[in-house]
A and B are shown apart, each in its own frame.
Chain A
């Protein structure tokens, strides 16, 4: 081989070596870097999105504040409107009140609980239209109609009613019937027989948890 060819071959050797270096090291490194940059960009976007979602939940503190205010407003609602009917406890307390005012509870009738639609008293009731009215969602509030009969002197009965009104559990009286007690007809100071129609309430929170979620707020 003459020297010219040898020189040419020798000068082409670094070319091959450089090409091999570029192909095996530089190009893969650049491709990998590009891929990594894309991944970083995607990750950054995902991070920002998640962070903004998390920031949106900073309303949780506001929500918690609202809940605290509501709890304060409600006070001992759970005592006044319990989750169970607890009529046995009511009956025991009624007897205690009656004994303390020297009156006699002669009757106690309770009807089965009925669901009561909760309506904001400040809002006007929607007028019923001819179109088919949408069935209201189940209400967590139930009323238990009670009829309490008692015999005693009028003033004692007034005190009994007063105690019933201030009782821990909400008892809403709807009507009071008063009549002479038949057995005291011939006495100078007759007792009266009173029949109190009232309603006790129960609030079942489970009903709200079981309600299907409505779309939108």
Chain B
């Protein structure tokens, strides 16, 4: 009988001579196309990952920064809004006060324009009035002509002279003359005229009514200069 001697042990030792690393790196059995594709995929993924990580890092940093900026802006806006509401209230109050003061000023001007120096006017009249004339009523009328306001003084009175009518007329003429011509420069009256002259037969006296223009303060100060 013929014996075939097979040395199996020797072969095993041959195979075990290959290290594990060699086994792992041995890619002879991998399809080269797959191998290439997987390398490309891994490299691309690495690049994409690196970019995404960069984007994420920048975004996170920017988020923090913008968040802080937003918080600062919000607090500044809140402050400004508060100031604005305060300023609005102050503005409203000031405007209200201004309106009241303007109205007061207008009222003051209006009242002042209607003022008449009665004390001086009465002195002027008493200086000009002749003995026989008795003034009974003096009143003021305000006239507006061509946007100019002027005051007119109406003086009513009676001529006490009971002599002749001519004398009475002279007396009133003297009174007018005294008012117009003989008055001092600081007199408040000008352009006096007789408006009415009636003879009262019952009392036997003349009743008269004369009007005088009142010098405005501007005209008066100009005359004095």
Contact = CB atoms under 8 A, between A and B. Distances in A.
| A pairs with B | yes
Interface of A: 2-4, 7-8, 10-12, 14-15, 17-18, 21-22, 25-26, 29-30, 32-33, 36-37, 39-40, 43-44, 46-47, 50-51, 53-54, 57, 59-60, 63-64, 66-67, 70-71, 73-74, 77, 80-81, 118-125, 140-141, 154, 158-159, 161-162, 165, 170, 172-179, 197, 201, 203, 205, 208-209
Given A21-B49, A26-B56, A173-B118, A7 B83 contact: no
Contacts, number: 206
Nearest to A24: B56
B105 A40 contact: no
A162 B80 CA distance: 58
Contacts of A44: 73
A165 B118 contact: yes
Contacts of A197: 139
B181 interface: no
B76 A47 contact: yes
24 contacts: A3-B30, A10-B38, A11-B37, A11-B42, A18-B49, A26-B56, A26-B59, A32-B59, A40-B69, A54-B84, A63-B94, A64-B94, A67-B97, A70-B104, A81-B111, A118-B106, A118-B107, A124-B144, A161-B118, A172-B111, A175-B138, A175-B139, A175-B140, A208-B96
B31 interface: yes
Nearest to A62: B94
Given A43-B73, A120-B110, A174-B139, A63 B95 contact: yes
A37 B144 CA distance: 69
Interface string B41-72: 11001101100110110011011001101100
Contact of B94 (A8, A11, A47, A60): A60
B121 to A, nearest CB: 9
Interface stretch (B4-12, B85-93, B162-170): B85-93
A33 B30 CA distance: 45
Among B29, B34, B59, B66, which residue has the most Cβ atoms of chain A within 10 A? B59
B182 interface: no
Residues of A contacting B: mostly: helix
A50 B111 contact: no
B74 interface: yes
A178 B73 contact: no
A178 B66 contact: no
Nearest to A58: B87
B131 interface: no
Among A33, A64, A158, which residue has the most Cβ atoms of chain B within 10 A? A33
Contacts of B87: 54, 57, 60
Given A26-B55, A74-B108, A36 B34 contact: no
